[in-house]
Structure 1
Amino acid sequence: MFQSFDASSSPEQGPPRLAKLRAELERVGVDGFLVPRADVHQGEYVAPRDERLSWLTGFTGSAGFCVALKDRAGLFVDGRYRVQGRQQCAEEFTIVHWPEVGLASWLKENMSAGKIAFDPWLHTVGQIDQLQVDLTGTEITLTPSPNLVDEIWADQPDKPNAKAFAQPIEYAGESNADKRARLGKSIAAKGARSAVITLPDSLCWLLNIRGEDIAHNPVVHGFVILHADGSCDLIANPEKFTEVLDHLGKGVALRPEEDLLPALQSLAGPVLLEKNSVPTAIAAALTSANIPVIFGADPCALPKACKNAAEIAGAEAAHLRDGAAVANFLAWFDENANKGITEIDVVTELEARRGATNMLRDVSFDTIAGAGSNGAVIHYRVTHETNRTLNPGELLVLDSGGQYQDGTTDITRTLAIGDAGDEEKRAFTLVLKGMIAVSELRFPKGYAGRDIQSIARVPLWSAGLDFDHGLGHGVGSYLSVHEGPQSLSTKGHVALEPGMIVSNEPGYYKEGAYGIRIENLLVVQEAEALEDGDTHRQMLCFKTLPYVPIDLSLVNADMLSSSERDWLNSYHDACYRTLIPLVDASTKDWLRKATARI
């Protein structure tokens, strides 16, 4: 079993914990405290020890933050999590529509003056700098502080301490020594002598190691100071790295955690920092030692995102294996959907099918299996308390993925439970049209995700509909299922480049009724030249990675253009040819019907 169905907290726990936090505000003489969902490494995912936001508020989403004042508390969440936030949090926590309402705006509206405390290890330089600018002209000040939630969290879990292990060169495609040398040159080219790397997936990619410090994300915690000559200091608990010392090699100096601040303050500088991933405390340590700082991108981010040939081959192999497992599950689902199964039954069966490959290391995130109104909760996670039986006429949003040593998968299918209504079929087909439009897109090199993400929304917009999440995110190579710097979203400002893997997942959600999402992962590649030359611009396109049928019972074929029908038929032909040798014998007849031409 890879997924727990226990609720990590409940709404009634929030108010007494908030009262204790407010007592701490009085004790230390401040007027508010910022509670982000973050750890000292600033990755998207955190260990149980760092689930301060969830512990305080009850909210378990992967993004958001709370501001606790003496008389009110705001939970800031984006469009993915507003329904979830209302369900999980007590009334003492006001749901604030972020980023439409900024933190500074909310503070100015709710207090005229005062001190807001923050833990400088849990907020990046960019976050605090921007907040200070936004509060200019007010009497609201920011003050670094020990973590006040930690002061009242009596049974706070210990730090994760799992052993690191090597990622073989056959999957990594480049040795850690070569990566360090290559990135060291890029650091020197920016005028720096070293760079501080905090993001867990950057550390793991750079050193070709993986770990188990975060559920479903094969990463290990630590800090890296990478020098321009390609050598580096790995600062972490040494006990975690005893099995990879030979793998790391002589160019990597392993140092204990207590060496971090002394190591930083002994650097010659300039030191390269990324504003949006380096904690304020690290920048402050360098500044206090008069060490010059250069702000720029994490040197690992773009090279990590542009997968090499070995990583792309691994992704393709993982998707073939994963696609067969999902197809075997879908055949089971079609046979059992109307027999009183539950959301937990769905998750358990799907995990079992992936586990039967004997190559699954973990799921890549908690499976989203939302039936009926639960499907309208964009990042719904079933628990024993929310588990519901699948009912005829409903839709099931099934968003899942696997972590294999050769690749990370993430796929969403919306499935009909019996016969769906005309409204649901119409909405599903509009979502499908947007997904197809992006799948077959050709676009000029240099365009970013923000430039093309709206293409998937056009069919929905034409019907007055939309969805409150990005179209897609980057995906790692046996690393985090959410990976930057690329994304297909309004925040996706980094140009797409060959080798990047992104998700393509438009959706539509009717609160209290149903949800719809269809997702495939795509890899960016050079587009073939057209017959008439196509020489005005260098063009890129997407290659679809997964082979998993789309539920044809939900498709209103009359709404599809001839080219859209051709794409769907071609995709299903490829699914059939690819999967038929790989699926169980009992799945073959289902697969033939599921990929029938329309």
Structure 2
Amino acid sequence: MSTYAARLAALRAQLAADRLDGFVVPLTDEHMSEYVGDYAKRLEWLTGFKGSAGAAVVLPQEAAIFVDGRYTLQVRQQVSADDWQYQGVPQTSISEWLKAHAPAGARIGYDAWLHTRDWVKAASEALAAKGAELVAVTRNPLDLVWSDRPGMSEAKLAVQDESLAGRNAADKRAEIADWLTAENLDATVMTALDSIAWTFNLRGTDVSHTPVGLAFAIVHADATADLFVAPDKVPADVAQALGNGVRLHPREAFAPALEALKGKRVAADPERAVSAVFAGLEAGGAQIVSVRDPAVLAKAIKNRAEQAGQRAAQARDGAALSRYLHWLSVEAPKGGLTEISASDQLRAFREETGKLRDLSFDTISGAGPNGAIMHYKASEETNRPIEPGSVYLCDSGGQYEDGTTDVTRTIWVGTPDGLSLPSAEIKDRNTRVLKGHIAIATAVFPYGTRGGQLDAFARASLWQAGCDYAHGTGHGVGAFLAVHEGPQRIAKPGGGQMGTDEPLRAGMFLSNEPGYYKPGAFGVRIENLVLVERREIDGAEGDYLGFETLTFAPIDKTLIEPSLLTAQEIAWLNAYHARVLEIVGPQLDGEAKAWLAEACAPL
């Protein structure tokens, strides 16, 4: 029996002991985080799946794992079909699957600290139709069988300096307090880790790739706040910076504090606060107002200091990436590189800046067919050589104290003789992705436009060739915070895509990353970060917005078919490369600088 089969069997035995007929295992934590601390990686421990979005359901005789289109290939590589049924989202859902597979009278367990209230309602209704019920467990049965489960991080919190944050934490609390007063609310519960980090100007290292600390918060209408965090995580300088307006409590005091809000009108975010938060407020007799966390939009609209920090981080990161691309152009054609050795070298170039705090996510270093796995992560089992005469996709980013980066480049790996060239198909697909990228970069749109309205700009050229891609075109990005940040998003409307109906506003950071993936062959993605900015148009009948491109690193011209580009698209590419040379060039020297000049020469 494999390790993962044994773990599944152990969980089933525990469920039987707990008189449960099934259990739902989400990927997230008590904060509804995308990336979670090691202690919360229950789905990975149980199944082997290492993606950033997914869930599983275990019944006595069958089990299913649910992933979206980004992970269709990856889940089949990492999770055994002998034990698990693969289910695609949004084509189906956990609720629908349970309705079809749970037996009548079944008791299906869930951890109320790991699911939203809306999910609980939908799953309960689906099971009720079968005469089954959803049962909140008092102890997570998976935790009971995970014998070597890591503990929560004990790392210290740190203060994000006001020169980088652009505002002090007291001002942010005062703004939230003004909102509470205007809405006739007494307090708001804050559970999203990046919202707490932003509101209190704190950063941490409790979660890989996201500089946050494990905490809960309640902000009150008098601008004071209660912060629930392990006491040993708060050094003296952090406590001093928080000031008298913030009362510190142990993390485990959060649940009782919810029940102590009796008679208060309390705001809670139904998308970000788990079911247990609502249950605690209800148990204490609070009047709950379901509304979005007030930090979400404020955090997404970056102030001048945050914008300046991001530009500095992007310039630094672009130089590190350009050094890597030069190195790759020399070493890859010789053979001998692998996905892991290459991504290790990229990290080394970022570390040489002396400013890197962490990667912003696990680098996607995909050689050949692995590049077609959208959120691929190389492992010792999957590590492919980067072969001369092939396509290599690298999606990577860094966390710096002044900004968060995320950039993808698709590279043609040549041969030592320089004679190997990409096929017409590869160049066609890459160029159509580039056309979509340029369409977003140059888009001009009126105030009130949603990301869902722009998404087709990126796909139009691919659609003309009968192609598409199964991920969004752009996600929000934090300022030395989460690399995937809401509420804004550029993606196809509907289909459960959160954020596609959010109006884009000046000051928001987003990615611009159309792609194309041919399973078993190659993948293409071209990604820069952009800033939403105001556009002044002579004679404009209203207010308009556009994008400032923030990321600067060369785009591989070998993979471009010029005949597919319009004169305007060629002009954009040449102007972009001129700007890369202007920003990155002074940071390079020697052979790397000479390579950059050639890589940025006009098409």
Q: Same fold (TM over 0.5)?
A: yes
Q: How many residues align?
A: 585
The one-letter code of the counterpart of 2:94 is L
8 Å CA contact 1:325–1:583 kept in 2: the answer is no
Aligned mates of 1:136, 1:71 — CA distance in 2: 21
Corresponding residue for 2:546?
541
The one-letter code of the counterpart of 1:562 is A
Corresponding residue for 2:449?
447
8 Å CA contact 2:99–2:129 kept in 1: the answer is no
Corresponding residue for 2:113?
121
Matches within 5 A, 1:308-327: 308-327=303-322
Corresponding residue for 2:417?
none
8 Å CA contact 1:525–1:543 kept in 2: the answer is yes
Identity %: 43
Corresponding residue for 2:63?
73
Aligned mates of 1:144, 1:474 — CA distance in 2: 33
Return the offset for 1:104.
1.9
Aligned mates of 1:272, 1:220 — CA distance in 2: 22
Corresponding residue for 2:266?
271
Aligned mates of 2:293, 2:547 — CA distance in 1: 26
The DSSP-based 3-state class of the residue aligned with 1:580 is helix
Return the offset for 1:371.
0.3
The one-letter code of the counterpart of 1:327 is S
Aligned mates of 1:367, 1:456 — CA distance in 2: 24
8 Å CA contact 1:188–1:228 kept in 2: the answer is yes
The one-letter code of the counterpart of 1:571 is Y
Return the offset for 1:261.
2.1
Aligned mates of 1:12, 1:428 — CA distance in 2: 40
The DSSP-based 3-state class of the residue aligned with 1:116 is strand
The DSSP-based 3-state class of the residue aligned with 1:403 is strand
Matches within 5 A, 1:168-207: 168-207=161-200
Aligned mates of 1:154, 1:262 — CA distance in 2: 28
Corresponding residue for 1:40?
30
Return the offset for 1:136.
5.2
Matches within 5 A, 1:14-163: 14-91=4-81, 92-113=83-104, 114-135=106-127, 137-145=129-137, 146-163=139-156
Aligned mates of 1:383, 1:320 — CA distance in 2: 30
Q: What's the CA shift string for 1:168-189, capped at 9, x where partnerless?
A: 0110000000000001111222
Corresponding residue for 2:240?
246
Aligned mates of 1:303, 1:433 — CA distance in 2: 32
Aligned mates of 1:589, 1:242 — CA distance in 2: 48
**TM-score, length-normalised on structure 1?**
0.96
8 Å CA contact 1:172–1:311 kept in 2: the answer is yes
The DSSP-based 3-state class of the residue aligned with 1:157 is coil
Return the offset for 1:12.
3.2
8 Å CA contact 2:228–2:248 kept in 1: the answer is yes
Corresponding residue for 2:253?
259
Return the offset for 1:234.
0.2
**TM-score, length-normalised on structure 2?**
0.95
Matches within 5 A, 1:333-412: 333-340=328-335, 341-412=337-408
8 Å CA contact 1:127–1:276 kept in 2: the answer is no
For the pair 1:594 / 2:571, whether they are aligned, the reply is no
Return the offset for 1:400.
0.5
The one-letter code of the counterpart of 2:199 is L
Corresponding residue for 1:564?
569
Corresponding residue for 2:525?
517
The DSSP-based 3-state class of the residue aligned with 1:357 is coil
The DSSP-based 3-state class of the residue aligned with 1:45 is coil
**RMSD across aligned positions (CA):** 1.2
The DSSP-based 3-state class of the residue aligned with 1:572 is helix
Return the offset for 1:130.
2.9
8 Å CA contact 1:121–1:279 kept in 2: the answer is yes
Determine which of 504, 507, 518 is the counterpart of 2:512.
504
Q: Extract unaligned runs of 5+ from structure 2.
A: 415-420
Return the offset for 1:420.
1.6
The one-letter code of the counterpart of 1:197 is M
Q: What's the CA shift string for 1:362-420, capped at 9, x where partnerless?
A: 11111111000111111111122221211122111100011110000000000001122
